[in-house]
Structure 1
Amino acid sequence: MTAERDPIDRLTCVIPAGGVGSRLWPLSRAKAPKFLLDLTGSGSSLLSSTWQRLEPLVDPERIMVVTGQAHAPLVRAQLPDLPEHNLITEPSPKDSSAAIGLAAALLEIRDPDAIIASFAADHVIRGSVLFERAVRTAVAAADEGSIVTIGIHPTFPSTGFGYIKGGGARTDLAPFDVYDVDEFVEKPDQETAERYIAEGGYLWNAGMFIARATVLLEAMAKSEPQLVADLREIAASWNSSDGAQKREELWPHLKKVAIDYTVAEPEAAAGNMVCVSAHFDWDDVGDFASVAKLLTRGRQSDLAVLGDSAQVLSHKSSGIVVSESDRLVALVGVDDIVVVDTSDVLLVTTKQHAQDVKQLVDRMKLSGGGHLL
């Protein structure tokens, strides 16, 4: 009799590497998006760090990256151990349902029993042992047919993240840390976020999803049957002579929608989602305020510098300076400032308004400044 495969041996990790990261403009741009940049001063890009985090769990044959065609060469350069057939290129960005759904459809063909786990390319995680423990717990729950997400214990009342409202403990799936998901909550206002923290029972939604590939696709098909049908058709012809033609025919018409809306929210409402309560440190590098927080963590400094610190002169100032030019950046008596100095753009704002950088990018798209994006 053949021994049953351990669930972790059927795990494939998928890294969706898309999005420009417009709140990090002008550092992050269309040709060099944030996941390809070193934003922590570690010497590794966010994408490379994600790869390194997954290596102890699975071998390279079971790590896939989904990215845009324009970024494929740089992804290959940064991840030399990524198998060629595991680099999945999208003809155009169609959001996370299409990206993760395509990976699931390809995996479903390769291994009908495959378990898929999706981890964004632009997150920073500390605590590798705790990360691996959370993933293994999630994989065990997914093997039982559940759709699983990994939630992060909030450290402050953030209005920039979505939240997961936890329900009853699922000791039938794991002895601890696994709970029903009662609801996914959109990014709240400050008062609501403070209430969530005070009440307890809420976790940050980090966008990590783990499930059997077929289970994930069938859940997505409940709300978007045409999307899943097209993804499966694209996957079926992926390596065939007419694969490129099939992608050209179907991809432009795929619905652009996040997996939160096609899977997470409806499945939570139906009582079909569970959550692993994780204990590792997690950051979503979404704007320059979050970059500053990462760079000054554990340091006796109020000013974060990314780039050549010799090009920054500061007196009684705090915030973050990103230096990519040969100019000297001098600060005197300014608090929580954000200065990003590149060869062709100088951005000055404050940490309080770091999220608003996206508004500038949106205006530039309409005003003919696209060459700077």
Structure 2
Amino acid sequence: MTQKNETPALIASLLITGGLIGGGIWWFTNRSGFNLTQINNSSPQSTATNNANSQTSNTDWSSVQNVPSGIFNYGGSTSWAPIRLSVDSALQAARPEFRLRYIDPAGSAASSTSGIRMLIDGQIQVAQSSRPVMTQEQQEAQQKGFSLREIPIAIDGLAIAVNPSLNIPGLTFDQLRGIYTGQLTNWKQVGGTDLPITPFSRDAKSGGTVELFIEQVLNKQSFAPSVQIVSTTTEALRKLGSTPGGIYFASAPEVVPQCTVRPIPISRGSQFVSPYQEPLATCPTRNQLNTGAFQDGTYPLTRNLSVIVKQNNGTEQKAGEAYANLLLSAPAQDAIAKAGFVRIR
């Protein structure tokens, strides 16, 4: 047979074979319920693509851009201590070119106020704050040719703690106000035992925690002379643990997990809300933060933790914005949540 005569036969053979294959595929997919697209969707490359499309651009530390190289001084609020301990160490391991060095203020305790002051004076490049920038601080910065920008990176709550031997169901804002302004001096006045109240606090000028308490709870009234001033939360917790009638307030992550004190529910009105996840645990089990109540506003004493950035188009601005962006990345927000704060993203 010649090549010319073989061509029609070859074409006919291919058509018959294609028809048989196509019919088999149709029967298999329609009768068996198998979906060929599952093969593509389950492939590693397709899975990675789908996962990447479902996530934000900041999936890891390395995705953050415009991170300067060098050593950058920072400092500020003591409420940031858990972040400095765990989150910042992970950040620097992932981005070793961006090195952070904590600076204590000279002649005063660390606080939001001291951190912002050092930023304005050029002693640090980045400030950590647990309160908004005040008008006076913004004015001082503008007089020096720059402004201050707040970038929130987490939500924090204030927790009230008492000596663990004290048995009270909780305190209202009115009762807390009475205690810290000197109108209530005995625990029997708020449903407790016949025991003098010993209130502790950091200095009113120390920063965000005290300022928030004075503004929201005390309605900007001053502390009574009976309030014992302590320099740090560590000192306050030590005294609170050894003072049967003691009471203190501080950042929730610093108070709620402690074994030597007892966090209590508080109420702005009639409903008490705990800063910890119910039920109250006893040591050695540590209490966990009631993050859901902080996030949805049910818990009545919350605030933002913010990076304060010097807006001067210089090295300080680049460092501050890079630090904030790194803390807003997915792994940092996970680490912030593990440190006891509520993620902002």
- Which TM-score applies when normalising by structure 2? 0.22
Q: Which has the larger radius of gyration?
A: 2
Q: Which has the higher contact order (CA 8 A, sep 6+)?
A: 2
